[in-house]
Structure 1
Amino acid sequence: MRSIEDVAARKMCTGCGVCAYMAPESYRMVDVLAEGRRPLPIRPVDRGPGPEAPGRAPREADALRACPGVGLTAVADDRPQLDGWGPVLGMWEGYAAPESLRYAASSGGAATALAGFCLEHRGFGGVLHTGARADIPYLNEVKFSRTQAELLEHVGSRYAPASPAEGLGLVEDADAPSVFIGKPCDVAASHKARALRPGLDAKLGLTIAIFCAGTPSTRGTLELIKALGSDPEQLKSLHYRGEGWPGEARAEPGERQLSYDASWGGILEKHRQWRCYLCADHTGEFADVSVGDPWHRPTAGDPGRSLIVARTARGVEIVLAAIAAGVLVAEAVPYDRLPASQAGLLKVRGAVWGRTVALRLSGLPAPRYRGLPMFGIWLRKLTVKDKLRSTVGTVRRIGRRGLRQRSVVEEYRP
């Protein structure tokens, strides 16, 4: 993969949008109906075969360097590591103090509570995150909330393509440090970008990653809307979760609601982009704080809880300060809560090693991971059947998913 165009064409794109931030004169993010958000070249020219080739703009080379689709390298430092889960300096289970936020959020509202704390108590300039488009509610767009009220307008999960990293320029241009909330790949993109842009590095005050099992395409959302008995052209709002934990999918107008298992497990997860099957970081190892569902406990009758993992000293300090300020209600928990809450993700990480090996042996590109343990997990945690599924099964997917054919970025226009 020698260019951003290559990354998209070879189905390695995560859709994060960092290339559009790094080289806005060269790429803009668009929605591709069956795949996700993808970079569309603004001025297609012959830029040569590699990032240093004559004619390739320096910003385009930096865009490729910042791309998480190409691969990730773990930070080499002395932080304690939880085997297979990345650095962990602290872990809590809790929820946002306001009951209204806790109820409306996808789980306990911890991510929103932490972001709001930074705005109101730390003088942060804003929060870069994702929300529904006002004109087309089933599509996402970048939001930069400067007030608590703006932040609360976009509470809840968005199981649809989103490119929050394309808005990192808003963080860089802000008068004060800002919070960035995104999927693990989005936060990893911001991590790579800040190493190339000192101005961005100075303004990223806190990064929060949401645990992620993959991004469904817009086609998946349209199928969900149909199952809810709604019409995309008449849609006023779409909620994938919330109003309880985990809550039900619902649309306005809509004839019915669907449980989380029926909406995610029955519809959306079948539409995940191929790159998500090659992801080694589902819990935000490159973030200051990562947040997800504590699935180890029953959800019935619980208004919502979040598992909160601090990955850096900055993350620990802000979580503890938010608890002390009464913004976040949380108690420290043993570190085994993470694998207990996300029981299947360790095997997924091992399977990724088998998938990437199978792709390379088949002459196809795969992301390169350095410092993220994978082979040992594949060897120890996967059954023989799982090992075969990750390798032989991947070879079979090559034909079914058309992995040898280059994708064409065709903008979806509702």
Structure 2
Amino acid sequence: MAANRLCTGCGVCAYLAPDEVRMVDVLDHGRRPLPVLPSAPAGPGATAAVDCCPGVRLAHDSRRAEPGEIAALRPAWGPVRRVWEGYATDPAIRYAGSSGGVATALAGYCLTGQGMAGVLHVGARADVPYLNETRLSRDPAELLAAAGSRYAPASPADRLDLVESADGPCVFIGKPCDVAATRMARRVRPALDARLGLTIALFCAGTPTTRGTLEMLRRLGISDPTGLESVHYRGNGWPGRARARLVEDQPGHERTLSYQESWGEILQQHRQWRCYLCADHTGEFADVAVGDPWYRPTGDDPGRSLVLARTERGVRLVEAAIAAGVLALDEAAPTILPASQPNLLRARGAVAGRLVTLRAAGLMTPRLRHLPTARMWWRHLTVRERLRSTVGTVRRIRRKRLREPAELIPYGEQRRPVG
């Protein structure tokens, strides 16, 4: 799947087949699975892992809203039971978070208020801070240290073994595709299912490759990333600025770019191809999903989060965190979701045109079940946007060489600048 560019980089295959698959960073593609032994044929573990691959398929059990769900949101946004807007009451968490710090605060409450054993999430590698690593945090301080978006390749599902072997229930935080993979994996691994206390998805418009981060660093005046002390993509206000520090920089000095400069002008141009085919940008398979309320004007603001409870477990734990004073959330009307994320609604519609075009060209596409895209294509895209989703895909087939297998050369351990 990775060579055919359907891989999302979630890492679930490395969890399910650790003796056969390892995850590596590929500069222009993202986190990708490679055989542990290059010459060895795929074994039973790797074959089984394909069944849990969110790059290959995504499926809801039903098209219809279940009792307790908001029926009007189901076609475009998946299962939603409650909608809130608000923030973490701890000002440090709120300030460090990408919007209102809700994901960090809720996960921390699960540790301190619900007795959960850990939180599986990603953070910057200490030795190479522009790359990510998966970690199991066991206290709120560790979570706070990793707060804020990481607009770089990450594969948090590769260490679901840490959840499976934990001494109590754990929280999982990841992108929508990571959570979808975890949901499929828990169905085939009862021990994992027993240890997943809560899944939190972060709204996602696509994962930039490591090449994107290096381009952002160059814009910040850093041509050699080996001297980096830290890299942050958002946070310290909403939407926050991209920030980087070199070890040699004076105390208090940071090189910064605005969100528009970092994401709008650089990072989104480097999203992996599979993200252009994604029908789930808002974590439809999670217990709780958190994103930005973009209907609000941005500026010098400490931040607020849009919060969706998608399951009864999600409703219960969010309400418990509100009652404990950890979250300050106000219930919101369902219409706040499409008002906050119109770009993601159009992105889902564009998927329909891309999939039809790719299939007509004889190329592989993901299988989607009960995640409708065609009606979004008709209702929410202009004529020009519909043409772009089809004609633009024809051009991308040639420009991105989609008929050729992707060249997957590991980058992960390299520390030298790449041009």
- Normalising to structure 2: TM-score of the pair? 0.93
Aligned residues: 400
Residue 51 of structure 2 aligns to a residue whose secondary structure is helix
Deviations 1:23-68 (A, max 9, x none): 0011100000111000011124564xxxxxxxx5332222100100
Please tell me whether the aligned partners of residues 176 and 281 of structure 2 are also in contact (alpha carbons under 8 angstroms).
Answer: yes
Aligned residue number for residue 228 of structure 1 = 220
1:52 equivalent in structure 2:
none
Residue 49 of structure 2 corresponds to which residue in structure 1? 63
Contact 1:291/1:309, CA 8 A, preserved across alignment: yes
Query: Equivalent residue for 1:29?
Result: 23
- Which residue of structure 2 lines up, in the alignment, with residue 201 of structure 1? 193
Question: Does the 8 A contact of 1:295 with 1:341 survive in 2?
Answer: yes
Q: Distance in 1 between matches of 2:183 and 2:37?
A: 27
Unaligned runs of 5+ in 2: none
Q: Where does residue 307 of structure 2 map in the other structure?
A: 308
Amino acid paired to 1:280: A
Q: Partner of 2:214: helix, strand, or coil?
A: helix
Partner residue in 2 for 1:250: 243
After TM superposition, the structure 1 stretch with the greater mean CA deviation from structure 2, 309-318 or 224-233, is: 224-233
> Between the two proteins, what is the percent identity of the paired residues?
62
Aligned residue for 1:277?
276
* Equivalent position amino acid for 1:78 in 2: E
State the partner residue of 2:396. 397
Superposition TM-score, scaled by structure 1 size: 0.94
* Contact 1:224 1:268 survives alignment (8 Å): yes
1:89-168 maps to which residues of 2 (within 5 A)? 89-168=81-160
8 Å CA contact 2:245, 2:255 repeated in 1: no
For the residues of structure 2 that align with 1:201 and 1:45, how far apart are their CA atoms? 33
Partner of 1:361: 360
Q: What is the aligned counterpart of 1:78 among 56, 62, 66?
A: 66
Residues 184-235 of structure 1 show CA distances to partners (whole Å, capped at 9, x for unaligned) of 0000000111111111111111000000000000011011111112330110
Report the Cα distance in structure 2 between the residues aligned to 1:89 and 1:118, rounded to whole angstroms. Answer: 20
TM-aligned CA distance change 1:70 to 1:373, over 3 Å:
same
Matched, 1:374 2:360: no
Q: Say whether the 8 Å CA contact 1:92–1:309 is kept in structure 2.
A: yes
1:320 matched to 2:319? The reply is: yes
- Alignment match, 1:241: 234
Q: Cα distance, 1:373 vs. partner?
A: 1.2
Deviation at 1:160, TM superposition (A): 0.2
Question: SS of 2:58's equivalent?
Answer: strand
Structure 2 counterpart of 1:214, from 206, 213, 218: 206
**Worse overlay, 75-84 or 224-233:** 75-84
**Aligned-residue RMSD, C-alpha:** 1.2
Higher mean displacement: 397-406 or 381-390? 381-390
Q: How big is the shift at 1:347?
A: 1.4
SS of the counterpart of 1:236? strand
- Tell me if the contact between 2:84 and 2:330 (Cα under 8 Å) persists in the aligned partners: yes
User: Is 1:96–1:328's contact at 8 Å kept on the other side of the alignment?
Assistant: yes
Gaps of 5+ in 1: 1-6, 48-55
Question: What is the CA–CA distance in structure 1 between the aligned matches of 2:128 and 2:37, rounded to whole Å?
Answer: 27
